[in-house]
Amino acid sequence: MTAAAVPTRLRFTHLALTLLLLLAVVTLAVLLGAIDLGWQRVLGEILAQLTGGLSPLSAREAAILWELRVPRVVLACLVGAALASSGAAFQGVFRNPLADPYLLGAAAGAGLGATLAVFAVPTFSTGLGALPIAAFAGAVLGVGLTWALGRSAGPGTATLVLAGVAVAAFLTALQTFVQTLDVDSLRTIYTWMLGGLGGAGWSQVLVVLPYIALSSFVLCASGRLLDVLGVGDEEAAALGLHPRRVRLIVLGAASLATAAAVSVSGLIGFVGIVVPHVVRLLVAGSYRVLVPLSLLGGASFVVLADMVARTVIAPGELPIGVITAFTGAPFFAVVLRRSRRL
């Protein structure tokens, strides 16, 4: 289905339904936790904040809600939106259904860039906004190496995936080596590799918000351009498009979004491949529809995964990466099998 075949009213309907799903998941995530605050009291607290009324929560309970749960849910939304919209954009640029920030080496490169920045300038670990820039440089390096290796090895879906796996493994090994130079960081390495939002706070939200907001806007605005790229470079050029310029812009925005997400969450895999494919299955359409729906769907997916991670063994906590891997690995196998038939 082409962009022209997707009526504007239908696109807005899909967006509205996906937004309602996100609001429902966010509400549930705020209400649920190791400490039961009671949904009536939580809603009463929110109403009190809006109206200036008396809070039904104690000071400790209010701190749990506003300093722990809410920023964690907001950060999960940002991370999920960044990873899923980046996955959809990567798939459009490479015209490959298996393109994903995790599989293309972008996530591993971002992790290496952030690690090198913190190791070289320890003050970056305090949450300065420069950290996502260092992660961005690493993400661009990862995607560039994967693209170059994949092109030199020959065309094909499996070739790009194998190149991405090789690059990601190499960059992850470098990251681990750098981190092991500081023995005290071994536990941090383990947590980073599995992904998680255990230390989420408003400071982290404020650090990554401008990067993810800017890159997400660029990706959503590039949907029509990705549709034109899908017909082939020669045809796109005949229509007045500059394929190379579009690819650089989209890859830059997707890499920045991935880098910002990875800098605060660690490596959370499969979000960028599961969510866009689910959107395609439910709503066939162009990238003008796919990218924004993936953005909202990714936010819902990571919030839901984080909610499961922090409640299934409460008061303990599972890494989000474990939850997304349980969901994404079988899904990836199915997509890989289907893509090899094409």
Task: Encode pLDDT of 159-193 as tens digits.
Answer: 777 888 899 899 989 988 887 887 666 666 666 67
Tens digits of per-residue pLDDT, 185-208?
666 666 667 778 887 889 889 989
Residue 149 pLDDT level (bands cut at 50, 70, 90)? confident
Alpha carbon 72 to its chain centroid, in Å, reads 15
State how far the Cα of 260 lies from the Cα of 83, in Å rounded to an integer.
10
Q: Is 204 exposed, middle or buried (0-12, 13-18, 19+ CB in 10 A)?
A: buried
pLDDT reading at 1 higher than 50? no
Which positions ≥6 away from 316 have C-beta within 8 Å?
A: none
pLDDT reading at 65 higher than 50? yes
pTM: 0.86
Percent residues over pLDDT 90 in the chain:
26
Q: Which residue has the higher pLDDT, 126 or 157?
A: 157
pLDDT reading at 3 higher than 60? no
What 8-state DSSP symbol labels residue 126? G
State how far the Cα of 300 lies from the Cα of 291, in Å rounded to an integer.
14
Spans of all domains in the chain? 93-341
**Tokens for 242?**
């500059």
CB 268 within 8 A of CB 326: no
Q: Which residue has the higher pLDDT, 308 or 95?
A: 308
pLDDT reading at 300 higher than 90? yes
- CA atoms within a 13 Å half-sphere pointing along the CA-CB vector of 160: 24
**Terminal Cα distance for the chain, rounded:** 18
- CA atoms within a 13 Å half-sphere pointing along the CA-CB vector of 140: 14
Alpha carbon 278 to its chain centroid, in Å, reads 15
Residue 341 pLDDT level (bands cut at 50, 70, 90)? low
Residue 251 pLDDT level (bands cut at 50, 70, 90)? confident
- In the structure, how many helices (H) and strands (E) does the chain have? 15, 0
Which residue, chain included where needed, has tokens 């509400």? Answer: 27
In CATH, what number does 93-341 get? 1.10.3470.10
Q: Which residue has the higher pLDDT, 275 or 282?
A: 275
Q: Rg (Cα) of the chain, in Å, rounded?
A: 20
